[in-house]
Amino acid sequence: MQSTEKQEFTTSRGTRFMGISLLIGIPTLLIFAFLLSPADDNMDDAVRLIYVHVPMAIFAYVAIITTGIGSVFFLWKKSRWWDTVAHASAEIGLILCGLVLITGSIWGRPTWNTWWEWGDVRLVTTLVLFLMILGYLALRQVPANPEMRAKRASVVGIIAAVNIPIINRSVEWWENNTLHQKSSLTDGKLENLTLFTLFLGFIVVGISYLWLMTHRFRVGWMTTEIETAGIAELIEERLNEGNSTVVNSQPQQKDGTK
Amino acid sequence: MTHVGYLVAGWSISLISFFIYAWRIVRKGKKLSSQVPKDRQRWMTSSTD
């Protein structure tokens, strides 16, 4: 009885472990972000938004790169597994990318005195990435043969992934056309507790991504199972219809020859 | 603390979006798993379950 109940969820031992880690990790991150870490000399307390904004940005990259890799492997191996990975990761990537744009905008208002700056290359390329992933997911909703649909989406998935290095390096490539600063992580300017809170943010958002990814993959897998079963049922129905037409037509022919 | 409104808005939107999406996915998984035969749920549970 207990095992039957377990089977009715997309939960497993791994996702339960990740879920419990998140229940501990999220409040811990909030305590460090709001109470223990210091305010920044330049940004004041607005720096506390960075602990969620930057990790989400990095895992949005991870999600879209995963979609790109999944798309390449789908086109190469024609593997349903990779297509499901690409689709699941794109959906999570869209949410992360959307949240990055929103939290970035909220952070930009007190720090740069603007909600949005069209001249900033990183902002615009991130918006382009968001729209590309939206396009990828919209393509997956277009009624078509499942394989053709996956093929079309894979092409968009690969193009979206190519955008990631452009977004990442835009601060260096177009340094006169951006409000963003260069990476603070690599230049060692962050204080100890600020750095620790940021890493805690990476761990929490990373586990969140893996947890969502596992559940979303299993949902995607089952959706395809249902879709495939539906198509198989339809084919069988048509074949039966065809057979019954042939069977029905045979006596008529016999009658005609009599 | 400065910029409280911005901080609350940014963190709330992020956390609420995460919980809503997570809840929807788990709910959808529960619904679908009752429709797919056990032997076709190849990626459903880890081998230790």
ipTM: 0.85
Average pLDDT, chain A: 85
Is the model's pLDDT at A163 over the cut of 50? Answer: yes
Listed range (A43-57, A89-103, A176-190, A197-211) with the worst mean pLDDT: A176-190
pLDDT at A49: 93
Interface check for A90 against chain B (CB to CB < 8 A): the answer is no
CA dihedral over A26, A19, B43, A135, signed as positive or negative: negative
pLDDT at A5: 46
pLDDT band at A97 (very low <50, low <70, confident <90, very high): very high
DSSP A127-193: HHHHHHHHHHHHHTTS-S-HHHHHHHHHHHHHHHHHHHHHHHHHHHHTGGG-SPPPPTTTTT-S-HH
Distance from the Cα of A252 to chain B's closest Cα (Å) equals: 42
CB neighbours of residue A237 within 10 Å: 10
pLDDT band at A4 (very low <50, low <70, confident <90, very high): very low
CB neighbours of residue A19 within 10 Å: 16
Between A228 and A254, name the one with better pLDDT. Answer: A228
Closest to B44 (Cβ–Cβ): which among A106, A216, A218? A218
Closest to B49 (Cβ–Cβ): which among A8, A12, A53? A12
